[in-house]
C-alpha cells in the first residue's frame, strides 16, 4: 500500500518550522544541521529550505557566530512564530524533524566536546516531555544508543536529566548490561 509522503512546501511554513526547531531545541542550529534535519524523510525540499532561510533572516532569525561557526537563532518574532504557529505545522513533520534535530544536535555537540553522553528534552503540547538520550561508543566514536523516554512533566524530565548527568558512566554501564 502506497503511503503519500507529507512535505512542507510553502516558504512561510518552512520559516515557521525553522523557528519551531530552534525554539524547541533551545539551541541555535547551523545551516548544515538544518539541511540534514529537514531532509530527513524528505520533509522539506533543499532549495525551498535555502529560500526560507533567506526570508527568515529578514525578521524571524538572525545569523550569529558560536565557536567560530555561523548558526541561526530566533529573534523575538521567531520565538512568537514558533509558539503561535508551530502547532499548525503537520504533527508528523513537526515530531519527526524535532527528533532528528535532537539527534543531529547532540551528535555534533558530543563530537565538539568529546563527551560520550548527551541528554535533551522537550515539553509536548499535552504537558508530557520527550527525553532524548544519546550515548556514543567509546571506541568507535559513533552512536551506540539513542533512547527516547517520556516523562509526565518537565519536573520529572529535568530530574531524569540531572540524575543521568550526575553519573553518566554508571548510566551507560547500566544500559550496556541491560542490552547484553
Q: What is the CATH number of the domain that holds 56?
A: 1.10.10.10
Query: H or E stretch including 62?
Result: strand 61-66
- How is the beta sheet containing 117-123 ordered, strand by strand? 117-123, 129-136, 143-151
Evaluate whether 33 touches 108 at the Cβ level (below 8 Å).
yes
Q: What is the pLDDT of residue 114?
A: 61
Evaluate whether 16 touches 49 at the Cβ level (below 8 Å).
no
The residues, ordered by sequence, that sit 6+ positions from 30 with a Cβ below 8 Å of its Cβ are 69, 70, 71, 72
Same domain, 93 and 151: no
Evaluate whether 133 touches 144 at the Cβ level (below 8 Å).
no
Out of 62, 95, 111, pick the residue that ends a domain. 111
Q: What is the pLDDT of residue 35?
A: 95
For residue 20, the enclosing domain spans 1-111
Q: What is the pLDDT of residue 109?
A: 75
Same domain, 53 and 125: no
Evaluate whether 110 touches 116 at the Cβ level (below 8 Å).
yes
Q: Which residues in the chain show pLDDT less than 70?
A: 1-4, 113-115, 138-142
Number of independent structural domains in the chain: 2
Q: What is the pLDDT of residue 50?
A: 95
Same domain, 107 and 123: no
pLDDT (tens digit, 9 = 90+) per residue, 43-74?
Answer: 999 999 999 999 999 899 999 988 788 999 99
C-alpha 134/C-alpha 144 separation (Å) is 8
Out of 111, 145, 161, pick the residue that ends a domain. 111
pLDDT (tens digit, 9 = 90+) per residue, 28-43?
Answer: 999 999 999 999 878 9
Out of 79, 111, 143, pick the residue that ends a domain. 111
Same domain, 120 and 92: no
Amino acid at each position: 500500500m502506497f503511503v503519500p509522503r507529507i512535505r512542507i512546501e510553502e516558504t512561510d511554513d518552512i520559516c515557521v518550522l525553522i523557528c519551531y526547531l530552534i525554539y524547541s531545541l533551545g539551541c541555535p542550529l547551523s545551516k548544515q544541521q538544518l539541511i540534514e534535519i529537514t531532509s530527513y524523510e524528505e520533509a522539506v525540499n533543499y532549495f525551498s529550505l535555502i529560500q526560507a532561510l533567506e526570508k527568515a533572516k529578514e525578521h524571524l532569525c538572525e545569523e550569529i557566530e558560536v565557536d567560530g561557526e555561523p548558526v541561526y537563532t530566533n529573534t523575538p518574532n521567531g520565538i512568537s512564530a514558533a509558539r503561535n504557529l508551530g502547532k499548525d505545522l503537520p504533527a508528523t513533520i513537526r515530531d519527526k524533524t524535532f527528533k532528528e534535530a535532537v539527534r543531529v544536535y547532540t551528535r555534533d555537540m558530543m563530537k565538539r566536546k568529546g563527551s560520550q553522553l548527551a541528554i535533551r528534552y522537550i515539553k509536548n503540547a499535552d504537558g508530557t516531555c520527550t527525553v532524548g538520550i544519546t550515548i556514543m561508543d567509546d571506541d568507535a566514536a559513533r552512536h551506540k544508543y539513542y533512547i527516547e523516554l517520556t516523562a509526565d512533566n518537565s519536573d520529572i524530565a529535568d530530574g531524569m536529566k540531572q540524575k543521568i548527568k550526575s553519573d553518566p558512566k554508571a548510566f551507560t554501564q547500566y544500559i550496556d548490561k541491560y542490552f547484553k
